Structure 1
Amino acid sequence: MPHAVLDTLRTEWEQLDKQHTMEDLYARQRRYFGRFDKLLDQATAGPTWLRNPAIANVAAEALHYYDDYGYFLVCYCIMPNHVHLVVTLPDAAPPLLRTLQSIKSYSASKSNALLGRAGQFWQRESYDHIIRDAGEMERIISYVLENPVKARLTDDWQLWPYTYWHEL
């Protein structure tokens, strides 16, 4: 993703007025990250290392590793340039931020080794969102699973090799 776009989006996010209600902030957050999604959904912006099956498999392995411990894995979609993940958290789960840091650290190290490179692999930021109800959960699962169709990588999400869905 071009740095100028990221800098502009980051500046807009930092300028959010803290006087707004939680619903106002939530709506602004959705619009803010929606702009990222539009860029990412093209599956061409930024590094596309996850297009490599070996790298995508590293990411999938890392996501499954924490299932039933750090979270309950609902679904994911590994796109060429980003990953969508939907989880539910058990009561005794460690903080999700810590689990995601572990996933990113492990998968970055292993992926960089496979690519013969060093340095940052994942973006530092991630967008996490609390799903408020069953209707929203259904909408988000559909969004995640349909992502490769939307990006015209496949005609059917079930044919995309890097989607996973554990029906609730």
Structure 2
Amino acid sequence: MSPNESSARKQRLHRLDPTFYKDKAYVHWTFTTHKRRTGWLTDSFYQSFQAQFTHLLVRYHQCCPVYCFMPDHAHFLFVGLNHRSNQLALIQQLTRQWNELIQPYELSRQAYDNVLRERDRQQSAFADLVGYILRNPVRKNLVEHWQDWPYSGCSLPGYRTLDPRKDYFWKNFWKGYREQAD
């Protein structure tokens, strides 16, 4: 192991206790590609990812009110549906499958996370976070309007047509969430 690899391993991000990532946890995750490499984000990747993504959400009892892929990173906001929810297990499997899809590229060794506290889950704070995630392509000058970015969306298993670009999105998202959450 080189000195740089050894140093990188020592600088791993510290996670909270695993209980913070279970049950109905709300967590904002940010993944980056190794060395911020670009070139992996394609329509083909996106379609393949979406095909696997819903299965992972069902398996780990999660929903994703918003996600946004960028050329060198991606944001996901996961919300647990019940007491069987486990975001750390989801992230481990998601990272493995994602790395398979983007070979020869790879994700950085560890994603950043922000576990939302109760005040961060309140309607205005939650809406601000969702807006921040969706406006990433505008801040990076990739599109003029966030609605034009093709690599962002929502995933609530059983509600394939939910789209944050639609006016009725939040009403239908929370209705669907309440129907699925224990």
Question: Could you state the TM-score of these two structures normalised by the residue count of structure 2?
Answer: 0.59
Question: Counterparts of 2:96 and 2:77 in 1: how far apart (Å)?
Answer: 19
Corresponding residue of 1:72: 63
Q: Distance in 2 between matches of 1:151 and 1:49?
A: 16
Distance 2:52 2:71 in 1: 16
The equivalent of 1:161 in structure 2 is: 150
1:104 is aligned to 95
Alignment of 1:51-62 (within 5 A): 51-62=41-52
- Which structure dedicates a bigger proportion of its chain to strand? 2
* 2:123 aligned with 1:123: no
Which runs of 5 or more residues in structure 2 are unaligned? 15-29, 155-161, 163-169, 175-182
Aligned mates of 1:55, 1:49 — CA distance in 2: 11
Hey, what does 1:25 align to over in structure 2? none
Maintained 8 Å contact 1:50/1:79: no
User: Partner of 1:30 in structure 2?
Assistant: none
Asked whether the 8 Å contact 1:58–1:111 carries over to 2, the reply is no
Query: With structure 1 as the length reference, what TM-score do the two structures score?
Result: 0.63
Percent identity between the aligned chains? 19
Q: Is the 8 A contact 2:38 2:72 kept in 1?
A: yes
How many residue pairs align between the two structures? 130
Q: Which position in structure 2 is the counterpart of 1:24?
A: none
* Mapped pair 1:89 → 2:74: no
Deviation at 1:140, TM superposition (A): 0.9
Structure with the larger helix share: 1
User: Is this contact kept in 2: 1:56–1:162, CA < 8 A?
Assistant: yes
Aligned residue identity for 1:160: W
Cross-structure match for 2:130: 141
Q: Which has the higher contact order (CA 8 A, sep 6+)?
A: 2
Alpha-carbon deviation of 1:92?
A: 3.0
Aligned 8 A contact 1:72 1:87 in 2: yes
Shift of the 156–64 alpha-carbon distance from structure 1 to 2, 3 Å rule, reads farther
CA deviation after TM superposition for structure 1 residue 110, in Å: 2.5
1:54-88 deviation line (CA, Å, top 9, x unaligned): 22333344433323442111010011111100121
SS at match of 1:88: strand
Q: Is the 8 A contact 1:49 1:55 kept in 2?
A: no
SS of match in other structure, 2:77 = strand
Structure 1 unaligned spans of 5+: 15-35
**What is the RMSD of the two structures over their aligned residues, measured on CA atoms?**
3.1
